Amino acid sequence: MSDTANLTIKLPVELKEKIKAIAEEKSVSMSAEIGERLVLSINQDSESGAYGQHAGIDSQDTQEVTEQPLTEAEIKKLRQLLNMNLRKKLKKK
Q: What is the C-alpha to C-alpha distance for residues 33 and 20, in angstroms, rounded to an integer?
A: 9
In a domain, 30, yes or no: yes
In a domain, 69, yes or no: no
In a domain, 86, yes or no: no
Share of the chain above pLDDT 70, in %: 78
Q: What is the C-alpha to C-alpha distance for residues 15 and 34, in angstroms, rounded to an integer?
A: 11
Q: What is the pTM of this model?
A: 0.50
- The whole-number pLDDT of residue 1 equals 44
Range of the domain at 39: 11-50
The number of folded domains in the chain is 1
- The whole-number pLDDT of residue 22 equals 95
DSSP string, 17-39: HHHHHHHHHHT--HHHHHHHHHH
In a domain, 83, yes or no: no
CB-hemisphere CA count at 13 Å for 55?
Answer: 0
Share of the chain above pLDDT 90, in %: 44
- The whole-number pLDDT of residue 29 equals 94
In a domain, 74, yes or no: no
In a domain, 32, yes or no: yes
In a domain, 41, yes or no: yes
Q: What is the C-alpha to C-alpha distance for residues 61 and 30, in angstroms, rounded to an integer?
A: 33
In a domain, 4, yes or no: no
